[in-house]
Amino acid sequence: MSLKKFNQKVIGCTQCPRLVEFREEISQTKKKQFQDDVYWGKPVPSFGDPNARMMIVGLAPAPHGSNRTGRMFTGDGTDGMGSSDFLMRALHHIGYANQPTSQHIKDGLKFTDAYMTAIVRCAPPANKPTSEEIKICSAYLHEELKLMKNLKVIVALGKLAFDQLLRTFQAQGAEISKPRPQFGHGVEVHLGGNFPILLGSYHPSRQNTQTGKLSETMLQNVFSQAKRLSSHPF
């Protein structure tokens, strides 16, 4: 199956009743500033270069960001400090993105050698998917990883994505060291074989960026590390 067909399949998914209800409800009630927008209100497809060596894995769509615009990490803030713009500035700085902003689906954003997806593809209430929802949706991650033929490095945004990727690779036959690798910013996990290197990064949520836990330089450094590893993985 091609990545295009895979994403078409994901868009039609209704497996998580709580998330289906939430994504549709939020698309009707809307945020005041987006009252005139037609919300996407469906699972959000992955985005980027299908031949990428570097993949970003986030947590889940934001209700008024990706759930509104229909593209991952797009339109979750208008002040330049939303997680989308924070992430895009870093990707642009390193050369993965052609522009430093991600506001709407027709803004011309293009990735080179980078691809982004999430462990959960529908917006969850309070940005918190349940462990069961993560488990169900990660079947798509499992499938998608097999379709990405050139992957060398995966950047996991946050602990939930990091831990889920470890579980997914384990299910695909990777040997995970004991004690298990612990999430941290800049932590590299080399799984061996044909598995990509897993690289941890704090999530560019406002909770992290506005408290100083994650600076623009720290995020740039992670993508610089990813670029180096994807060019010379071992």
HSE of 225, CA atoms in CB hemisphere, 13 A: 19
Smallest gap from residue 55 Cβ to ligand SF4 (A)? 17
Smallest gap from residue 13 Cβ to ligand SF4 (A)? 3
Q: Does 13 interact with ligand SF4 (rule: CB under 6 A)?
A: yes
Q: How far apart are CA 103 and CA 89, in angstroms?
A: 12
Q: Does 16 interact with ligand SF4 (rule: CB under 6 A)?
A: yes
The helix, strand and coil proportions of the chain, stated in percent and rounded to the nearest 5, come to: 40, 10, 50
Of 118-126, 154-162, 192-200, 220-228, which segment contacts ligand SF4 by CB under 6 A?
118-126
Q: Does 137 interact with ligand SF4 (rule: CB under 6 A)?
A: yes
Sole binder of ligand SF4 in the list 10, 26, 91, 145 (CB under 6 A): 10
Of 1-9, 98-106, 119-127, 204-212, which segment contacts ligand SF4 by CB under 6 A?
119-127
CB 226 within 8 A of CB 199: yes
Sole binder of ligand SF4 in the list 122, 145, 197, 222 (CB under 6 A): 122
For 171-221, the DSSP string reads HTTPPPPSSPPPP-TT-EE---TTPPEEEEE----HHHHTTTSS-HHHHHH
Q: How far apart are CA 18 and CA 125, in angstroms?
A: 9
Which phi and psi angles does 48 have, rounded to 5°?
135, -160
Q: Does 142 interact with ligand SF4 (rule: CB under 6 A)?
A: no
Give the angle subtended at the CA of 122 by the CAs of 120 and 125, to the nearest 5°: 100
Smallest gap from residue 43 Cβ to ligand SF4 (A)? 4
Q: Does 141 interact with ligand SF4 (rule: CB under 6 A)?
A: no
Smallest gap from residue 16 Cβ to ligand SF4 (A)? 3
Q: Does 94 interact with ligand SF4 (rule: CB under 6 A)?
A: no
Give residues 25-84 in contact with ligand SF4 (rule: CB under 6 A). 43
Sole binder of ligand SF4 in the list 19, 72, 166, 198 (CB under 6 A): 19
60 or 214, CB closer to ligand SF4? 60
Q: For residue 223, give both structure tokens.
A: 């993508």
Q: For residue 191, give both structure tokens.
A: 């799984």
Please work out the total of residues on this chain that contact ligand SF4, with binding judged by CB under 6 A.
Answer: 14
94 or 165, CB closer to ligand SF4? 165
Handedness of CA 90, 95, 97, 103 (dihedral sign): positive
Residue found under tokens 């623009």 = 216
Q: Which residues bind ligand SF4 (CB under 6 A)?
A: 10, 13-16, 19-20, 43, 120-122, 133, 136-137
